Amino acid sequence: MQYNMQENLNILWTECQQILKDNLSQSAYQTWFASIEPIQWENNMLVLQARSQFIVDYIEDNYLDILSRVLRKVFGAQVQLEYRILMAGSSIDIPSDSMKLSAAPKVTIAPQSIVEIDNEWDSHLNPLYTFDNFIKGEPNKLARAVAVEIAKSPGKTIFNPLFLYGGSGVGKTHLAYAIGNEVCRLNPAARVLYVAANTFKLQFQDAVNHNRVPDFLMFYQSIDVLIVDDIQYFADLRGTQDSFFQIFNHLQQSHKQLILTSDRSPLELRGVQDRLLSRFKWGLAAEITRPDYQLRHDILMYRIRKDGVKLSDEIINYIATHVTDNVRDLEGVLASLLAYSTLTDNPIDMDLTQTVVGRLVALKPQTFDTKDIITTVCQHMNVTEKVITARTRQREAVRARNIVMYLIKKYTDSSLAQIGACVHRDHATVAHSLNTMDDLMSYDAVLRQEVAAIERALGR
């Protein structure tokens, strides 16, 4: 059946819209395609009207492939596309009677067959980062609890904005992604957007260069949950900060959620306008600190179970003890161990672990005050300090004394004579005790666990 294209343009475009609806998320369709209107169809040239150049550019960058397939299916293989843009002067909201039409460049669509297209959402979230695989511990306990509440009711809690800060690799971006992914899961229609601060800066600069700042602002003010990563990169960028200030105010007043991450607290940010800094403090600034031993251990156990790997307690303890800076280093060491083991067909033993850790992590000399070691051992083993220095040969006393000497040797630069002075023993006795401990540590799992517990109490 042949259609009179001019008379049936609306019908054909409605058919295109239905295909787009079926293949895009509701939010993606509503954001980019719902407002587009068909203007003309003549000589294989389809003219569509968009509300802004920003929308046209975004469609061309992200959805031209699907749009071309849909148009070829409905309008035929020779279809060409041209846009008309509604120009609204310098203001974002202008009455329709003051608008005028302006042509955008023509786009020729290359022939391409129609195929099934998966649903997609342009949030730029990484779906791999969720609450389920964000391991909870003391360093992130508050931040994670608040994040879960925000995901349930974005924009409706007192935590707006949520300002997550901490060092590199401690989990700020993971947690921000987790919020966004959970919001999308609970409310697929929500407009959630993740953007790195540097990307936002480049987008703003491009909008300025092409006189599209109103479109840029309009787009960001339409977001329900805006996640800006590494906000410290806004420092000394006056124009970028001015635009973000307008976006921030609009979203905040509209009860939309803002989530910001930074490598430092709002109080430590330099080169950021005071009016922005004051707004960063409106909600909650939650610090995520370096993972402690328990969190590092739990992260390793999660990854080991997930990857189906078997590692001894000794190796797990060694990694958790020596890889202390951030989660990325932990995951990097574990991945490298698996790679080495697979490629060389060798088991993951302590020698391999020490080699990999030594190559990937700058091992810091671990030093303690001997007094701290003695106090920690006594508290853990429920003995007094007098027992450590006494001449008694009771089993509990000998065991505690040997552990003290072992740890002083491991974590201080003390000589054998200095170690002996701490426990009132001579050089030869210390040497014998250390040899005994080295031997016991090689096969006595209970002793290894006890020493590891004391090391954790020391902060290692």
Over pLDDT 70: what percentage of the chain? Answer: 87
- Angle between helix axes 9-23 and 64-75 (nearest 10 degrees) is 140
How does pLDDT run across 215-239, given as a tens digit for each residue?
Answer: 899 999 989 999 999 999 999 999 9
Burial class (CB in 10 A: 0-12, 13-18, 19+), 357: buried
Query: Mean pLDDT across the stretch 411-439?
Result: 86
Query: Mean pLDDT across the stretch 285-301?
Result: 89
Are the folds of 138-287 and 293-360 the same? no
Report the distance separating Cα 191 and Cα 40, nearest Å: 31
Tokens in use for 430? 């210390």
How does pLDDT run across 101-157, given as a tens digit for each residue?
Answer: 333 444 444 333 333 333 444 788 888 899 999 999 888 999 999 999 999 999 999
Residue 266 has pLDDT above 60, yes or no: yes
Query: Mean pLDDT across the stretch 9-31?
Result: 83
C-alpha pair distances (Å), 264 with each of 221, 289, 396, 411: 26, 11, 47, 31
Using the Cα atoms of residue 95, residue 245, residue 205 and residue 166 in order, give the sign of their dihedral. Answer: negative
Residue 176 has pLDDT above 80, yes or no: yes
- pLDDT number for residue 342: 67
DSSP state letters, 368-424: --HHHHHHHHHHHHT--HHHHHS----HHHHHHHHHHHHHHHHHS---HHHHHHHHT
Q: Which CATH architecture has domain 293-360?
A: Orthogonal Bundle (1.10)
- pLDDT number for residue 405: 92
Question: Looking at residue 344, what DSSP letter applies?
Answer: H
Residue 1 has pLDDT above 70, yes or no: no
Question: Per 3-state DSSP, what percentage of the chain is helix, strand, and coil (rounded to 5)?
Answer: 55, 10, 35
How does pLDDT run across 50-88, given as a tens digit for each residue?
Answer: 876 767 877 887 788 888 888 988 888 888 888 887 644
Of the pLDDT bands very low, low, confident and very high (cuts 50, 70, 90), residue 99 is: very low
- pLDDT number for residue 144: 95
Report the distance separating Cα 151 and Cα 129, nearest Å: 14
**Which option is the CATH number for 9-108: 3.30.2130.10, 3.30.565.10, 3.30.300.180, 3.40.50.150?**
3.30.300.180
What rounded mean pLDDT belongs to the chain? 82
Residue corresponding to tokens 């966004």: 180
Q: Of 356 and 308, which is predicted with more confidence?
A: 356
Of the pLDDT bands very low, low, confident and very high (cuts 50, 70, 90), residue 5 is: low
pTM of the model: 0.56
Highest mean pLDDT among 121-135, 201-215, 249-263: 249-263
- pLDDT number for residue 459: 67
Of the pLDDT bands very low, low, confident and very high (cuts 50, 70, 90), residue 460 is: low
Query: Mean pLDDT across the stretch 430-448?
Result: 85
Integer distance in angstroms from the first to the last C-alpha of the chain?
A: 78
- pLDDT number for residue 315: 87
**Which option is the CATH number for 370-458: 3.40.50.2300, 3.40.50.300, 1.10.10.10, 1.10.1750.10?**
1.10.1750.10
**What is the arrangement of strands in the sheet containing 45-50, beginning at the earlier edge strand?**
37-42, 45-50, 80-87, 100-108
User: Of the ranges 102-106, 178-182, 387-391, which one carries the lowest mean pLDDT score?
Assistant: 102-106
Beta bridge partners of 84: 49, 103
- Sort strands 100-108 and 80-87 into parallel, antiparallel or unpaired: antiparallel
Extents of the domains making up the chain: 9-108, 138-287, 293-360, 370-458
- pLDDT number for residue 441: 81
- pLDDT number for residue 183: 96
What CATH number does the domain located at 138-287 have?
3.40.50.300
- pLDDT number for residue 86: 64
Q: Of 371 and 160, which is predicted with more confidence?
A: 160
Of the pLDDT bands very low, low, confident and very high (cuts 50, 70, 90), residue 363 is: low
Query: Mean pLDDT across the stretch 269-287?
Result: 91
DSSP state letters, 50-97: ES-HHHHHHHHHHTHHHHHHHHHHHH-TT-EEEEEEEE-TT-SS--GG
Of the pLDDT bands very low, low, confident and very high (cuts 50, 70, 90), residue 367 is: low
